Amino acid sequence: MKDTKMSSRKGTGKAPQKIAKQVQEFIADKVEAAGAKGAVLGISGGVDSAVVATLATKALGKDRVFALIMPAGVTKPEDTEDAIRLANGLGIGSKMIALKPLIDAFRTVLKVEQRPLGNLMARVRMTLLYYYANQRNLLVLGTGNKTEISVGYSTKWGDAACDLLPIGDLYKTEVRQLARYLKVPQRILEKAPTAGLWPGQTDEGEMGITYDELDAMLQSGKLNKRVKAMVDASAHKRDGPAVCKMKG
């Protein structure tokens, strides 16, 4: 993720239709440059993946976008339902893969605690995405936004691993505005954002701050102690692996 270093800026100031056009052109250009047949992404029933799926479909056409729906044991049924409805509404190909049997296989050899389990689920999901990407010559689309990237709210080599980050320079509040323009289903727009890593988990609850508050700080560059600590501690996620440079 070397192209997504944390930097403060105001919102784009662009109308949603202009943002949508720019993102669509980005996806189409990158897929063509890679010689890929299309793109694959995970859709969760949340707003970020809904926006990326919608823009990818507009950019590439429904026959060149493939979605995986990967519920875990803690996934709310309504989230899976929303993901299925979204894929069907866009007319894109999709496949549902339940994570439980895969996670249970890990449990047979590991004593998995709650937080490592959440990270494990994210990494299993990305493994599945790259399996289909390799099989079908597709690029993996990430669904992370600038807010999450800036504070490291992601799993390294999990949801943070991808080939393209179409909304990676849009704050969460901007993604919501874009979602309204794209007419993302209201039920998806209204739900509390969650990574679905354990029962009752929500993004804002885990971070201890609302997205509106967080975006205001990040855009102004005036970070409180907690947010600054999050930004500093997550620098390694934005910089990529450190390389030992040979001297002499």
* 8 A C-beta contact, residue 26 and residue 52: no
Amino acid, res. 203: D
Query: Whole-angstrom Cα distance, residue 240 to residue 120?
Result: 19
Catalytic residue, from 148, 159, 163, 215: name it. 148
- Choosing from 48, 159, 169, 215, the catalytic residue is 48
Q: At what angle do helices 172-181 and 16-34 cross, to 10 degrees?
A: 100
Task: Establish whether 148 is a catalytic residue.
Answer: yes
- The Cα–Cα gap between 135 and 66 comes to 12
Contacts of 197 (CB under 8 A, 6+ apart): 72, 74, 117, 118, 121, 122
> Is 113 a catalytic site residue?
no
- Closest to 219 measured CA to CA, from 9, 12, 13, 14: 9
Which residues are marked as active site?
Answer: 48, 148
